[in-house]
Chains A and B, each alone.
Chain A
Amino acid sequence: MNIPINFLMWGLACLPILTLLVLMIKFQWGATDAAPIGLTITVLTGIIFYKADIELIAAESAKGIWNALTILLIVWTAVLMYQVGLEAKAFSVIRNGMRKLLPNELLLVLAMGWIFESFLQGITGFGVPVAVGAPLLIGIGVKPMWSVIIPLLGQSWGNTFGTLGAAWDALAMTTGLTHQSPEYLKTAFFTAAFIWFWNIIDGFVICWFYGKGKAIKKGFPAVLCISIIQGGGELMLTQINTTIACFVPACVSLIAILLLSRTKAYNSEWCVSESQIMNRDFSESRADDSPKDMKLIDAFVPYILLSAITLIVLVVPPVFEFCSQFKLSISFPETVTGYGFVNAAEPAFSPISPFTHASMFLFISSILGLLYYKKRKWLKVDSTKDIFIRSVSMTMPSGLAVICLIIMSKIMAGTGQTIVLANGIANVLGGVYVILSPFVGMLGSFMTGSNMSSNILFSGFQNATANLLNIDPSVILGAQSSGASVGSAISPSNIILGTTTAQILGSEGKILKKIMVINVPVVIMIGLIAFAIVNL
């Protein structure tokens, strides 16, 4: 590769991301409007300055669409599940039932916005916790914007070791870490330690959003207890089995929150009446529309089915092996830029395994849920068509934005802009680069919407930079993946999943602004901790 790494090239590589941020945060444009502008800049920069030809740009666009489709399948099926519940009025039952089960409203918000999302992230990931969690929170009376923000924060700690360790495996594979070798365990340790730090902050931030200092004081024991289980449990399990390092603690925390609701501190009604995140009018106006004979367990049927199907398929090895043998993929030719930046030919690009894909679990559980509600007469005979039409019309606008964002990240990577961006930072900063290493991870998941993609994109680079600077790569790689995990909460393609199911499409900028205020300082802190560790 002969791409000149200078300020002009670096600035040009930065331009699409800066444009996206400015349009979304400063001018409050929705992702559907901002992403095409970022994409246009990326294409022009790629062709004019990075010497990419149209074949490369077209191939990277097609790769982007293929990757986006795997995400969109999840959005469509998650929205279908939401529409089934909405039509059957299951969310009213969930709201009333969960209120009785968890009389402490703060604990209820933590359970529905943090614990349940962690559980979903542990098994499925790929934005499912956000898409599924947002309507559930609206169901318990949380304002739509907050019902997107809270799951985004709640699920983000589980991104590296969640989805049964997919993102972690990508990091280990990219950097050549041998399974269970001392380097592997050391890197896993630092990654989990940084993530634990983020996990505990997550809990307290949700409390702060709910009721500022009053809620932090009330929620302190619960957050501490849950964080020890989730963050501490994950740290411990990474030294034994990284595949279940997030899933097992997430399941234990589900039980723990129910046990906590029986304790003296949380077993009675408690709420902050002036909470900024709660829609008190909504709770009162919708109080009576739930079907009288529907129990809480009935309302949760699609979610219980989702958890059961996912667990059976992903955790039982013979079932997983059988289901994962069916794969769909497309091939791409090799492409090269004028600077000699090569995108290797892909005989089977990003294969989708339809029977182990989260969208299949969501689709089956939605259909079974629909049949169950119909059998119990909670759905009208002719409601199926309406449910499907509403699901399609609700998801199409966000689909375009997701495709656009992923094409943008693919073209940036394929033309060499991403590598120039990262190299420029490392070259200028030298040893101080350690502080910014989690930012590189964050940048990766901001662009691609996935911790796994960020690790695939930047782990090799981070590893090489650490070796170049004579720094322990395990700390840098830990910072990379934890930064990516934190960054998943600010990724526009993740945010849009929530705004779609919460029906507030176009509010992505507002949400991004609220979350960035928390995530950026956390990433700085992770960077500073990493810097202190390597300089000890």
Chain B
Amino acid sequence: MNEQKFFSTRAGKLTIAFIIVMIAFAMIMFGLYNNISIMYTLGFTMIVLSMLYSPIKTHIYDKLKNRKARQINEQRANDKANL
């Protein structure tokens, strides 16, 4: 399997998100053991952002992208009709 290709798929991107969660887990544990609040705060923020990647991509970004593409197509069709 082509590595470059895999990481550009949805499964690949979620794999990256999973790896980030694992790194964040290590950061939280390190922060809790050594009482470094910035470390566990950063770790937790990384978890939330990685988790939110999928719903934001599927239900906001892709939908906006599709809507924009539709609008451009409609605009082009209108321009053609006007010509």
Contact = CB atoms under 8 A, between A and B. Distances in A.
Given A61-B28, A62-B25, A55 B52 contact: no
Interface of A: 29, 32-37, 39-40, 43, 54-55, 57-59, 61-62, 65-66, 330, 332-333, 386, 389, 392-394, 396-397, 399-400, 403-404, 407
Given A396-B18, A400-B21, 16 more contacts: A33-B54, A36-B51, A36-B55, A40-B52, A43-B48, A55-B37, A57-B44, A58-B41, A58-B44, A59-B40, A393-B1, A393-B12, A396-B15, A400-B17, A400-B54, A403-B51
A347 to B, nearest CB: 13
A61 B47 contact: yes
A330 B31 CA distance: 13
Contacts of B6: 393
7 contacts: A32-B14, A32-B54, A55-B32, A58-B43, A62-B43, A400-B14, A404-B51
Nearest to B19: A396
B55 A34 contact: yes
A389 B22 CA distance: 19
A482 B26 CA distance: 37
B70 interface: no
A40 B48 contact: yes
Nearest to A335: B32
A57 B41 CA distance: 9
Contacts, number: 87
B80 to A, nearest CB: 36
A487 B37 CA distance: 38
Contact of A65 (B21, B32, B48): B21
B63 interface: no
B83 to A, nearest CB: 41
Most chain B CB neighbours (cut-off 10 Å) among A39, A55, A330, A392: A55
Most chain A CB neighbours (cut-off 10 Å) among B11, B12, B40, B54: B54
B32 A62 contact: yes
B29 interface: yes
Nearest to B17: A400
Interface residues of B, number: 30
A332 B25 CA distance: 13
Contact of A58 (B11, B28, B50): B28
Nearest to B51: A36
B10 interface: yes
A33 B58 contact: yes
Nearest to B12: A393
The SS class assigned to the A binding surface is helix
Contacts of A54: 37, 40-41, 44
A53 to B, nearest CB: 9
Contact of B55 (A37, A333, A397): A37
B14 A65 contact: no
B48 A396 contact: no
B59 interface: yes
Interface string B31-43: 1100001001101
A449 B37 CA distance: 31
Contacts of A37: 55
Instruction: Return the 4 tightest CB-CB contacts between A and B, nearest first.
Output: A58-B40, A36-B51, A396-B15, A33-B55
A360 B22 CA distance: 21
A397 B14 contact: yes
Contacts of B21: 65, 400, 403
B72 to A, nearest CB: 26
A29 B56 CA distance: 12
Contacts of A59: 28, 32, 40
Contacts of A36: 48, 51-52, 54-55
Contact of B32 (A34, A40, A58, A404): A58
A36 B14 CA distance: 13
A397 B11 CA distance: 6
A183 B54 CA distance: 48
Contacts of A66: 25
A35 B58 CA distance: 13
B50 A400 contact: yes
Contacts of B40: 54-55, 58-59
B17 to A, nearest CB: 6
B28 A389 contact: no
A298 to B, nearest CB: 28
B51 A61 contact: no
A23 to B, nearest CB: 9
Contacts of B28: 58-59, 61-62
Contacts of B29: 62, 330
B32 A333 contact: yes
A29 B60 CA distance: 13
Most chain B CB neighbours (cut-off 10 Å) among A57, A386, A394: A57
Contacts of A33: 54-55, 58-59
Given A54-B37, A61-B44, A65-B21, A397 B10 contact: yes
